[in-house]
A and B are shown apart, each in its own frame.
Chain A
Amino acid sequence: MERRSTNHRVRLPDWLLAETTRRAELKSGEFVLDDAATRAAVALSPATISDRIVLRARRKDASSELQQTIAEALGGLRWAFGILLLLGLLAGAGAAQSVLAADGIIRLSWALMTLLGLPTLMLLIWLLMTFWPRSRQRRRQAGSGLPGRLFWWLSTLLARRLSTHPAKQQLAGSLAEYGRLYGRRLASLATHAFWSAFLLGAIGLLWAAFVGLRFDFSWGTTILSSDRLQALILMLGYLPAWLSGQDLPSQAQVLALLDQQSSAADRSTWAWYLIAALVLYGLLPRMLLMLGFGLAQRNNQPRLDVSAPGYLQLLPVLSSSEAKPLGLQGEPAPNLDRLSQIHERAEAGDGQAVMIGIELEQKDWPPQLSEAVKAQLMNDEQGLPLALGRADDRTARHQLYDAIAVLDPTPRRIIAVCSLLRSPDRGIGHWLSSLNALAPVDLVLVDASLLDARGGDCKSRQQDWAALADRFKLVILEYHDEHGPEVELENGPENGLEHGSGKR
């Protein structure tokens, strides 16, 4: 699964510790996130979120006791494993003992069936359970083998029984969860270990018996033909003989075995035959499987599922280190006025008012002025302003400045049409201020509805322009919106006009 990559591996004791802490916290419903443990996890900030969770769990007050309990539980796990192995050995030895008949004749067929048949049958069942197609979830739980389940049951039982820690209930839950996620691997390991021990016990006992006692061998049959049986015995013996370096039993030897019992000279051949078959067909596959699962167990440490409830509550605090503040750089910023070159507002001249446009959205020039502004201008016997042009870049600004500077007589005022879509900046402020020194500059702000359509905040943008006007000693004549309905504004048209005319 993709999200695995976020869930890093941790050691089993750490996994159990974190998981048990999570369960305890979930149960109590309290997530203390401002304690020393959490702060330590944030401050030391190990690389992965899983490590941070583990670190926090370790630094918790109750942690050392809990860690002790976990160690005990894992100790219990090892004990259970040991007991299982011992049981396997004893069972194997017992089974081997049962085929060593008192009369000194070993029924080879019976011995193979007892000592090899049972483990092989169990192996087949294990294989079937493991690879039987079913849902992924089911498969996780099944197919671990009977001894493995016994082992797992025993170890959780031990964890529950041995522990005196108040969180033992949670620990048992964590163990069960571990069992659910990874138990199949562990239980399979135990299963194969058990049968390995069983075969070792059997082989060991046989070996001891063959060293110290004399046995003859026989292979009787009631319903099979001796031809078939002969072929079977040779077939079974082929590989062990090849591996152990012994000769394959000859036809005569097999016939003797089947007829009555093996001759005295053949004893060691058949003893080797039995032991080699047990090693090769019984012990070897089990040992290989045990080794495989052992390696898997050692190399694949459990992962914390950090998307589980309980961990999620920790994430906002623990994962904050993904972005680490580097702080403010350099000197504190100076007062805005220090950055501005502000000219005094000029006296109104006698000439016709002029109009300029600054970074306007619409293409057509000149823009329509509102009736209110027009009326105001007519009242002042100014006539409509002369549309000079647009100032959209540096060159145009210079040209316009130069043009206004040479106007004679000086215009009564400069109507600067600005768009509310633009954030007022110092660049505009400075230029308008330089114009303001030539003739009084009055602002007409348009495009309120366009700004609104963009999702912008008209009111605050107007305040920004008002602040600019204030700083650079300009006057806002009106907020005019030719695209939308007339809107009542804080510094509405009437306000602006009165303000404007009052100034003159």
Chain B
Amino acid sequence: MPESPLSLAVVGHTNTGKTSLMRTLTRDAGFGEVSGSPSTTRQVEGVALQVDGRRIVDLYDTPGLEDAGRLIEVLDQIGGERHDGPSRIESFLSSPQADQLFEQEARVLRQLLASAAALYIIDAREPVLGKYQDELAILTMCARPVLPVLNFTASSSARSEQWREALARVNLHAVAEFDTVVFSVEAETKLWQRLINLLDQRGDALQDLIAHRNQQALFQQAAAMRIVSELLIDVAGCERTADKDDAAAQQQASQALQRAVRSAEQDTIKQLLDLFHFTPSDVALLELPIQDGQLRGDLFDQQVLQYYALRVGRGAGAGAAAGAAVDVATGGLSLGAGTVIGTLLGTGIGTGLASGRNLVDKARGRIRLQIDDPTLTYLAGRQLRLIRALQQRGHASLTPEQLDNEESEPTSIWPKDRLPNAVFKARLKPAISRLNNETSLQNAARERLAAELAQVINPEQATNTNRQVDNGSSPRLA
């Protein structure tokens, strides 16, 4: 017999992030309405978390508690058995006040009585004020297990310790920290585990949920790596040809190449957003260097490329050097980096490594243009950072992120500081790139290379950027 789902009421003071918690736990940035203003949620709204079609947890978002101070006085007046909290709550709920001044609070209490437990959301940046203590007192009267959840713990102004102390004083020793803006699977796992400890008998189903969520995160990671690898394989092999002596044609080909790569990057971003359940409308909020679904800071920006070319070239055996080595090995016959045509200098474009074919092309008086190694590295780096940001972004985030484009070491993206073999192979087989031939029949070959590449690149390696969650600088006033 299947267990009935565990029903949880998400409660708390107004504007502490109840709906945000719902959004983050459901991975649905469209749930409810979130704003920095109080009383945004006015009605209880439910959502079921499922594992393989099985309902595990029913979460109910409730309106914020706003007037606990007066409510507790009303409850005191109602009197009744001092130790029978639930009956006092019941008689309050059947009183006319529950339909008028305390209509919102009554909704919360009704939902809590109908639920197995409550998640009490706390804005950890707030001091432990009297009104919060009143709220806790009322909630505990309902005789339901309450798990306090500290939100915004990643903020530098969080007062997690003060809160823990205050909560321990009212016998709430199990406390979860869960930042709805800065997401981590580990924190979510801990949240559910605290709940298991609190509820005891629902362990198995919640364990399934934990396992499922962790698998999901691993899957998303693997899938994201696949998506980026596909892009990199496509871009590595992308090429356009032009007449050797026709500078205008070279410019044109170079621009066509850039267009193809940019548009491929757009598609990739769209896919990544889809994968992590973000929509392009969230992108505006993301304040990654993205604008209108497009990464800001042009991929072919000369300054950035020069900076990258320098960094890439510096490490021994780094990517660019490896490209040059091919030229040395072929005695310069490949018309490679050493003989880049003047018009293309610093545009992020080189003349391909496909040396055998280049010989033929050279005889025909044509050159083959490909994206150069530093640009490819740069592209890989910012895609990996995007993935990282999406992984850590709660579905409730409204505040912008600081994500720096240039600060990370580009060479650290590739294992062993050199372009992976799969990228080299892709360079040598332009036929498999979808950017050269949209109906490329060599899907299997490309997918194989992409899968190989996905095994070796790692978003962890692109994360030496400092995430600033709560930056105290730069006043942003209208």
Contact = CB atoms under 8 A, between A and B. Distances in A.
Nearest to B110: A330
Contacts of B129: 359, 392-393
A43 to B, nearest CB: 12
B429 interface: no
A453 B44 CA distance: 32
Interface in B371-404: 399
B43 A393 contact: no
A392 B130 contact: yes
Contact of A306 (B103, B126, B127, B219): B219
Given A308-B447, A326-B58, A329-B44, A425 B53 contact: no
Contacts of B13: 423, 425
| Chain B CB within 10 A, most for which of A45, A339, A430, A464 | A339
Interface stretch (B66-74, B187-195, B315-323, B348-356): B66-74
Given A6-B219, A453-B470, A455-B155, A329 B111 contact: yes
A459 B227 contact: no
B47 A3 contact: no
B53 A6 contact: no
A6 B215 contact: yes
Contact of A47 (B53, B73, B110, B438): B53
A361 to B, nearest CB: 7
Nearest to B16: A423
B159 to A, nearest CB: 11
A456 interface: yes
A425 B105 CA distance: 12
Interface string A440-477: 00000000111011111111110110000000000000
B202 interface: no
Given A173-B444, A328-B43, A459-B477, A3 B219 contact: yes
A47 B56 CA distance: 13
A449 B409 CA distance: 34
B43 A332 contact: yes
Contacts of B216: 6, 322
A457 B444 contact: no
Interface in B88-133: 100-104, 107, 110-111, 125-127, 129-131, 133
Interface stretch (B142-150, B258-266, B270-278, B334-342): B270-278
Contacts of A328: 43-45
| Chain B CB within 10 A, most for which of A308, A326, A334, A461 | A326
A189 B275 CA distance: 38
A133 interface: no
Contacts of B42: 333
A333 B15 contact: no
A391 to B, nearest CB: 9
Interface string A307-329: 11100110110000111111111
B425 interface: no
Contacts of A487: 475, 477
B37 A460 contact: yes
A315 B274 contact: yes
A490 interface: yes
A455 B134 CA distance: 27
Interface stretch (A22-30, A220-228, A493-501): A22-30
Size band of the interface chain A makes with B: 35 or more
A320 B44 CA distance: 21
B277 A316 contact: yes
Contacts of B475: 449, 452, 484, 487
Interface in B464-478: 469-472, 475-478
Contacts of A455: 155, 399, 469-471
Given A27-B439, A426-B66, A490-B478, A325 B157 contact: no
B15 to A, nearest CB: 4
B130 A393 contact: yes
A176 B444 contact: yes
B130 A394 contact: yes
B75 interface: no
B282 interface: no
B60 A329 contact: yes
A307 B230 CA distance: 12
B174 interface: no
B26 A323 contact: yes
A427 B274 contact: no
B271 A313 contact: yes
B47 A394 contact: no
A336 B39 contact: yes
Contacts of B274: 312-313, 315-316
A312 B275 contact: yes
B46 A326 contact: yes
Interface of B: 13-15, 25-28, 31, 35-39, 42-55, 58, 60, 63-64, 66-70, 72-73, 100-104, 107, 110-111, 125-127, 129-131, 133-134, 155, 157, 215-216, 218-219, 222-223, 226-227, 230, 271, 274-275, 277, 399, 438-439, 441, 443-444, 447, 450, 452, 469-472, 475-478
7 contacts: A2-B218, A23-B443, A312-B223, A316-B277, A325-B48, A427-B66, A457-B36
Interface of A: 2-3, 5-6, 23, 26-27, 29, 45-48, 137, 169, 173, 176-177, 180, 306-309, 312-313, 315-316, 321-330, 332-334, 336, 338-341, 359, 361, 392-397, 421-427, 430-431, 448-450, 452-461, 463-464, 484, 487, 489-490
Closest 5 CB pairs of A and B: A393-B130, A326-B46, A333-B42, A323-B26, A307-B223
Given A6-B219, A394-B69, 10 more contacts: A176-B444, A315-B275, A323-B28, A323-B50, A333-B63, A339-B100, A394-B134, A423-B13, A427-B68, A457-B36
